[in-house]
Structure 1
Amino acid sequence: MQYLDDLLHDSVQRRQVPYIVASVGRSAGTVWTGQAGNAAGDIEASDQTLFRIFSMTKAIAATGAAILAERKQLDWNWPVAAVLPQSNSLEVLDGMRGNVAFFRRPRSGTTLLQLATHQSGLAYEYYDPVLAHYFDRSGKPTIISGLKKGLLYPFRFDPGTRWRYGTGIDWLGLVIETIDGRPIDRFCREEIFEPLQMTHTVFEPGRADVVGDIFLRRPDGGLTAAPVDVAAPRPPEFYAMGHALYSTPADYMRFLRMWLNHGELDGRRLISTDTATSFLADQLGELTLPELSSCVPRSSHDFVFFPRARKGHSLGFARMQEGVAGMRSEGSQFWGGLLNTHFWFDTRRDIAVVVMTQLLPFLDPPFMAAMAGLEKSIYHNFA
């Protein structure tokens, strides 16, 4: 697929990305993988390069919860507090005046479904100035610290009243551990990674793993190596299922192809077809994914995906409620990770795509322009 290879090399030459790996799959197998640039020193990027996938971890956690739900060990409508009583301590942060935070009790409890679909009331400080101010003034650790105390974000609204991207999946990981009894890393390995042969998806990189270098976009538009690793310290006090995983493009494509096959891959069924169908259905009803303004621009640009198309959320992914001409179809599922690892899968067209680099800020405009051009080319040639 020389035209796709050329797009990747062009994006590196134009400094839209420091390096890039992209892959296209169908339910029957991977049909193209391309790469450009060096991922770690003078080592070329490849589909075996290990990437910090950050929020692409969330779909893994939701899949784990679906496995337990199919076994009747979990009900999506359960209150979180019925499984994790410590969640009862969370209050709603109503606002701040100087250094003083004002709290109140939430008017309703949070369900497991609301954790999975970002309707729980929990938000990230990257897109909430009041929450960012609260953490700045309080000195409390955030979720990226790897500390258990970093889970204790206050609610920003009453559960079930709006959509806001946040830390709910980290609580869902604790729910899975509590119900199943295995540590979350062992659960994921035995229930998801081994059945799907995701042999390089890990919570802790090994010494022999080639982990991609992180780059920053400079104000002048250039790229520079990041001075520190932005991932949580290793080992953390707990594995936060909102962001803890490392994976390769080849591994994550196997995960997406399982969804294209409605719960099965290469003869191994993870969940039933009925469970997969209900999992991928929209869960927001009248709510939609809003645009969110970034208040930490060094970490993320404004949270905007396909602004003119209505978007919902399934149990594991953002969901296109409308298609985009020449690009992904209605019903397509997608998400990304902080360092600009992205994916989507389109069951109508039988297409899954993984695009990975390691670049801050999230939703970097030059990178997003390169990805949009790649998506249009993929649909022009594969759909």
Structure 2
Amino acid sequence: MSGAPSESRESSAASSAEAIARFESAARSAVESRRLPALLALTAGRETYSFSASPPGGEPLSEETVVWYASLSKTFTALAALRLVDAGLLDLDAPITDVTHLREVRILTGYDASGARYAVPRTPITARMLLTHTAGFGYDFLESRLGRYAREHAVPSRVSSRAASLELPLIAEPGTQWNYGIGIDLLGVVLEARCGETLERILRTWVLDPLGLDSVRFGPHGPAAPMHSRTRYEDGSARLAPLDLRYPDDPEQAAGGGGLYGTPRDFLRLLRALLADSAPQRSNAPGSPAPHSADSGSPALGSPGITGAPLLSPVLSAEARRAQLPAGWVSPRRSALPTSTEDWDFIPEQGDNWSLLGMTNTRTGPHGRAPGGLMWAGLCNSYFWVDWENRDCGALFTQMLPFADPCALELFSLLEATVPRT
């Protein structure tokens, strides 16, 4: 029996090698056939892995290419909010009274012959509701009522990063439903009100500088990976085309739920910090930005820039990962704007729920992701996971609409299968 552990490791390595070969073959095929414009995959765990696929003559995605994070931005804003909870500057469950829209917003219950119908919410909105998408807000590309409201009231697109883009009504009583929407964007407004600083400065102080994420900012501020759209036709064919979609470099109201740009490498660094629940050691070599500290004028969490410091207190870290909602609340979404997203239902056999950091699974996933893992995605068909029990994480990046593309989702599943788990 002395050879059994070695044989087990060899078997696991062979299985992983076969899974990697399957993933890379499928990824190359997807890009060469133009089902996807380009792709980059990164994982970290027992081993690290990186793979890029681009069409002949096309612009590749690399670990250092600036990409649009889209809703991957939510993870940064949520983490900043939780660090402020630890610092005593934000209460997860206290009614939010210092943001006018959250005090005065009404529920759009529907439309009849006379126009829109509204109701007054009975329950105050809290930061926990904004983090878990239970405050009652939605997205216009997922809710036709909100799409109509936005058209009739000339509400600008969120891509404009104008403050008026957040002036949407609720679609449900706060605390009674899960509706994916603009809650994290509004949480960014709350953080600005609490700190008296811009959201970019808050993220820089509490998340980006402590983790050494120097590429991350609102707006690309220069060249970025090109966006594409994929149009499907009735005969089953599809075609990729360039898409002019770019958040501004100087936003009026920074989009904490979708406006960040950065490199895939920096996003993986964020995932690895979440996995370790601590800030990694930063270089203090010449030219390296110095971490912020309590002396920078920002409130201190024991000094957010101290290297190796825990990201969150143990109690809040456990609370942040915990499933927050009753079973069944996180349900499939149907598209109200097919050019932005397809219908989606993420791996229902995992038991989808929501934590304070994103989607969590309550059952073991098909590739062994342990209960209590973290997963979420960006509108541009980028996806990630964090598995605390198995100590691994990974992300897949593309830059293409509509969201929930079946090919991208299949590749994300194949990517997770490459990670060896016992």
Q: TM-score with structure 2 length normalisation? A: 0.83
Match of 1:182 among 192, 197, 211: 197
1:356 corresponds to: 397
**How far 1:304 moved relative to its partner?**
1.2
Unaligned 5+ runs, structure 2: 1-16, 282-306
Shift of 1:143: 2.7
Is contact 1:216–1:225 with CA below 8 Å preserved after alignment?
yes
- Of residues 165, 175, 195, the one that matches 1:160 is 175
- TM-superposed CA distance for 1:7, in Å, is 4.2
**What amino acid is aligned across from residue 32 of structure 1 in structure 2?**
Y
One-letter identity of the residue aligned with 1:74: L
Match in the other structure for 1:13 = 32
1:179, distance to aligned residue in structure 2 (A):
1.1
* Count of aligned pairs: 374
Match in the other structure for 1:321 = 362
1:213 paired with 2:226, answer yes
Q: CA deviation at 1:98?
A: 5.2
Conservation of the 8 A alpha-carbon contact between 2:137 and 2:170: yes
Decide which of 134, 152, 158 is 2:149's aligned counterpart.
Answer: 134
Q: Deviations over 1:108-160 (max 9, x none)?
A: 11111001100000011112122222223333224333211111110101000
Q: Could you tell me how far 1:190 is from its partner in structure 2?
A: 2.1
The correspondence for 1:331, drawn from 368, 372, 395, is: 372
Rounded Cα–Cα distance in structure 2 between residues aligned with 1:17 and 1:371: 13
Give distance in 1, aligned partners of 2:409 and 2:366. Answer: 17
Q: Alpha-carbon deviation of 1:286?
A: 4.2
Inter-partner Cα distance in structure 1 for 2:114 and 2:402: 28
1:1-383 pair list within 5 angstroms: 3=21, 4-26=23-45, 31-37=48-54, 42-80=58-96, 82-97=97-112, 100-207=115-222, 209=223, 211-220=224-233, 221-229=237-245, 231-266=246-281, 267-269=307-309, 270-286=311-327, 288-376=329-417, 378-379=418-419, 381=420
Contact kept? 1:50, 1:212, Cα under 8 Å: yes
Q: Is the 8 A contact 1:344 1:352 kept in 2?
A: yes
For structure 1, the residue ranges without an aligned partner over 5 or more in a row are none
1:252 to partner: Cα distance:
0.6
CA distance in 2, matches of 1:222, 1:9: 18
Q: Write out per-residue CA displacement over residues 243-265 of structure 1, whole angstroms, 9 at most, x where no aligned residue.
A: 11002111011111111112343
> Which residue in 1 is equivalent to 2:8?
none
What are the Cα deviations for residues 217-265 of structure 1, in whole angstroms up to 9, with x where unaligned? 1224444232421x33443211011111002111011111111112343
- Please list the CA deviations of residues 307-329 of structure 1 after superposition, one character each: whole Å capped at 9, or x if unmatched: 33321111111101112232422
Alpha-carbon spacing, 1:213–1:174, altered in 2? closer, same or farther (3 Å): same
User: Structure 1 residues 103-112 or 215-224, which shifts more?
Assistant: 215-224
| In structure 2, C-alpha distance between the alignment counterparts of 1:12 and 1:323, rounded to whole Å | 30
C-alpha spacing 1:95/1:44, structure 2 compared with 1 (3 Å): same
Cα distance 1:382–1:250, how it changes in 2: closer, same or farther (>3 A)? farther
CA deviations over 1:148-194 (Å, ceiling 9, x no partner): 11111101010000100011111110111111222111111122111
Helix, strand or coil at the partner of 1:238: coil
Report the more deviating stretch, 61-70 or 214-223: 214-223
- Contact 2:68–2:260 (8 Å) recurs in 1: yes
RMSD over aligned Cα atoms: 2.1
> Conserved in 2, the CA contact under 8 Å of 1:249 and 1:356?
yes
Q: Secondary structure at the match of 2:141?
A: helix
Is this contact kept in 2: 1:67–1:271, CA < 8 A?
yes
Q: Give me the whole-angstrom Cα distance separating, in 1, the residues matched to 2:347 and 2:330.
A: 11
Deviations 1:282-310 (A, max 9, x none): 11134531111111111101131013332
The whole-number CA distance in structure 2 between the counterparts of 1:93 and 1:151 is: 15
State the distance in 2 between where 1:99 and 1:165 align.
Answer: 28
Deviation at 1:37, TM superposition (A): 0.6
Classify 1:144/1:45 alpha carbon distance in 2 versus 1 (closer, same or farther; 3 Å).
closer
Q: Which moved more, 1:321-330 or 1:234-243?
A: 321-330
Structure 2 vs 1, CA of residues 99 and 213 (structure 1 numbering), >3 Å: closer, same or farther? farther
> Cα distance 1:79–1:7, how it changes in 2: closer, same or farther (>3 A)?
same
Residue type of the alignment partner of 1:329: A
- In structure 2, distance between residues paired with 1:107 and 1:113: 17
